[in-house]
Chains A and B, each alone.
Chain A
Amino acid sequence: AQSVTQLDSQVPVFEEAPVELRCNYSSSVSVYLFWYVQYPNQGLQLLLKYLSGSTLVESINGFEAEFNKSQTSFHLRKPSVHISDTAEYFCAVSDKGNLIFGKGTKLSVKP
């Protein structure tokens, strides 16, 4: 079965600084990868996904993630964060059409 490891449970960062949220998954022949964001008291919102093709995927709000097959990683990055990016971020991998989530990383952006 697939599994996902998010290496940092909490990441504090100052506004306008760059950030990287790390995600590793268990190896598989083919894999689909996702990042979801969860704001307080809300459900999950899809941030970006890798299905095939270019290994670099981008979201509309400045986040990007790179699929690295050799390192089985799918790290999420943003060159300059805003206060509004404060949320919990979940990495997920597909498993027979269902999603296996990591434990989440709480991103806290400070002024």
Chain B
Amino acid sequence: DAGVTQSPTHLIKTRGQHVTLRCSPISGHKSVSWYQQVLGQGPQFIFQYYEKEERGRGNFPDRFSARQFPNYSSELNVNALLLGDSALYLCASSYRHSPLGGVLNYGYTFGSGTRLTVV
């Protein structure tokens, strides 16, 4: 079975540009989360989607947006890129979401990430 797939694997953008990152969850998983991992830090939560609806948002500016499609794949969009947006962007999928942590009984599976470099 395919795991969580992310594309592209690497990306170089210029300040002020826009970027779209893509994620396909494990077959049957309905929840997708996005994390940003800056070099030398732990991942930070950006968004969570379940059944095409936003179920959680981290402390990121409005330049960051996301959506989930009927096939449960997801896109993360970042506008007006800044140098500080350079990071590894990780997508994680799970079967379902619960604010009480029910999704965690199934565990999160992470993709290998997209390495974004802003110059």
Residues of chain A having any CB pair with chain B under 8 Å: 4, 6, 30, 32, 34, 36, 42-46, 49, 51, 90, 92, 94, 96-104
A96 CA to B48 CA, complexed, in Å: 11
Number of A-B pairs, beta carbon distance below 8 Å: 68
A97 CA to B102 CA, complexed, in Å: 7
A interface, over-half SS: strand
Known: A44-B110, A51-B105. A97 touches B41 (CB 8 A): no
- Quick one: which of B45, B90, B104, B109 contacts A32, CB cutoff 8 A? B104
Residues of chain B having any CB pair with chain A under 8 Å: 4, 33, 35, 40-45, 48, 55-56, 58, 90, 92, 97-105, 107-113
27 A-B pairs whose Cβ atoms sit less than 8 Å apart in the complex = A6-B42, A30-B101, A32-B104, A42-B112, A43-B111, A44-B90, A46-B109, A49-B107, A51-B104, A90-B42, A90-B43, A94-B101, A94-B104, A97-B98, A97-B101, A97-B103, A97-B104, A98-B48, A98-B56, A98-B58, A99-B35, A101-B35, A101-B42, A101-B44, A102-B42, A103-B42, A104-B41
